[in-house]
Amino acid sequence: MTGTPSSAPLRVALLGCGVVGSSVARLLTEHGDDFAARVGRPLEVVGIAVRRPGRDRSASGVDPDLFTTDAAGLVTRADIVVEVIGGIEPARGLILSAMAHGASVVTANKALLAEDGPTLYAAAQEHEVDLYYEAAVAGAIPLLRPLRESLAGDDVRKVIGIVNGTTNYVLDKMDTTGAGFDDAVAQAQALGYAEADPTADVEGFDAAAKAAILASLAFHTRVSGEHVHREGISDVTAADVAAAREMDCVVKLLAICEKVDGEDGAPGVSVRVHPAMIPRSHPLAGVREAFNAVFVDADAAGQLMFYGKGAGGDPTASAILGDVVAVARHRVGGGRGPGESTYADLPILTMGQALTRYHLSLDVHDRPGVLAQVATAFADHGVSIETVRQQTEDGPGERGASLVVVTHTATDAALSATVDALAALPVVRSVRSVMRVEGE
């Protein structure tokens, strides 16, 4: 690393001092000598912007004199600004001001990046500073740097991630204990894995923001949160999980970013978040509790997987501090990290254009010709059936049968239309469960 004449400390400003922020502050202080050696200059925390300065933070071990409510002033006197406030404002305004004042920015703010990343990238470019955000997706797992840099010479075809620990915890409990959705959420809340209002997690908003970030990096295309088809897990029932189990599958909430050839043969990008069955033999199936993992399929590299903790103070701080060292090294040795790369500018496909597979469980009347009618409904929509299993069920009232169908790959529009057509068939008493299937 090229040294600069100056050995003055690089000034680090911290915006936010919650669970993550206090980990960042503590680790920066405790390992000060390591940071100085790794960067080539010491890092000095010059201030920590908080909303409530009077709150007792003595447990964090942070010098209380560092706390300030003047975030706007703080960002003007730093070389590196770490933003861990979250949300759109005031985070965006503070980041833009920091960059305008010449600071490089490290942020964990997935919501802001998914909503308005290009504005931040443009500001970083204009002011010739760095914008790093490894912690925004999958916490401690080094993932964005591999996508932005390690795989920069490859052609990424698909990214499938378990990127939300709360929903993975809930689905894992449903799988291992047979619990229903509400009970599993209550367990997750009791253990601190889910918020009192779990909407952002269970309805897939958090995962959708991360999917947008992953797709942007993987496909060199601008993808924002509004491009992401989003379905949460609140409609996943114990019956769905049991149906998956019978198929030797497990239900996971997946963030899926895929490059596919559209109907005109030109490539497009499908970005979606939804629950799906994956085979228990798939590497992602073994991701338990609140862990995260991301599976990447690239043309030359083949299949890769990255696994680790997706949240928590210290794990998230690890990712943030790796970025802090990177941008600090650039301050010392020159250069900048890669900026936004959108040259491919691929069209974003609708959910209807996405290629998926369905698992359907139907209650049907047990009469001759039922299977023929059901099979015809699939054929009418150009959907091929991979497996079908019929079972007679004795219950109260008329004798019925259950029919479990797994399709081959088709457009989601064709599959969805097939389900509508099946539901309208007089021989179909009810569509018990519909779920997409991922993984070979």
**Catalytic site includes residue 210:** yes
Q: Which is nearer to a second copy, 38 or 429 (CB)?
A: 38
The only residue of 330, 357, 381, 436 in contact with a second copy, by rule CB under 8 A: 330
The radius of gyration computed from the CA coordinates of the chain, to the nearest angstrom, equals 25
Q: Among the residues of 220-292, which ranges form H helices?
A: 238-246
Q: Which is nearer to a second copy, 336 or 365 (CB)?
A: 336
Bond before 347 cis per omega within 30 degrees: no
Our finding on whether 329 is near a second copy (CB under 8 A) is yes
Q: How far is the CB of 187 from a second copy (least distance, A)?
A: 22
Rounded-to-integer distance, Cα 213 and Cα 162, Å? 14
Binding residues for NADP(+): 15-22
What b/e string do you get for 233-269 counting C-beta neighbours within 10 Å, with b at 16 or more?
A: bbebebebbebbeebebbbbbbbbbbbbebeeeebbb
CB 204 within 8 A of CB 232: yes
Question: Which among 210, 252, 259, 309 is annotated as catalytic?
Answer: 210
Our finding on whether 160 is near a second copy (CB under 8 A) is no
Quick one: tokens of 266?
């030109």
Rounded-to-integer distance, Cα 80 and Cα 99, Å? 9
Please count the residues of this chain forming the interface with a second copy, following the rule CB under 8 A: 62
Find the part of the chain contacting a second copy (CB under 8 A) among 59-67, 183-191, 309-317, 376-384: 309-317
CB 170 within 8 A of CB 194: yes
The only residue of 91, 241, 319, 374 in contact with a second copy, by rule CB under 8 A: 319
Q: Which is nearer to a second copy, 176 or 430 (CB)?
A: 176
Q: How far is the CB of 129 from a second copy (least distance, A)?
A: 11
Q: How far is CA 68 from CA 90, 207, 332, 374, 383, in A?
A: 15, 32, 27, 66, 61
Q: Which is nearer to a second copy, 180 or 308 (CB)?
A: 308
Rounded-to-integer distance, Cα 107 and Cα 136, Å? 7
Find the part of the chain contacting a second copy (CB under 8 A) among 60-68, 85-93, 253-261, 325-333: 325-333
- Chain residues that interact with a second copy, rule: CB under 8 A: 1-2, 23, 27, 31, 34-35, 37-38, 128, 134, 140-142, 145-146, 149-155, 220, 283, 286, 298-309, 312, 314-315, 317-326, 329-330, 333-336, 338-339, 341, 343-344
Q: Which residues are marked as active site?
A: 210
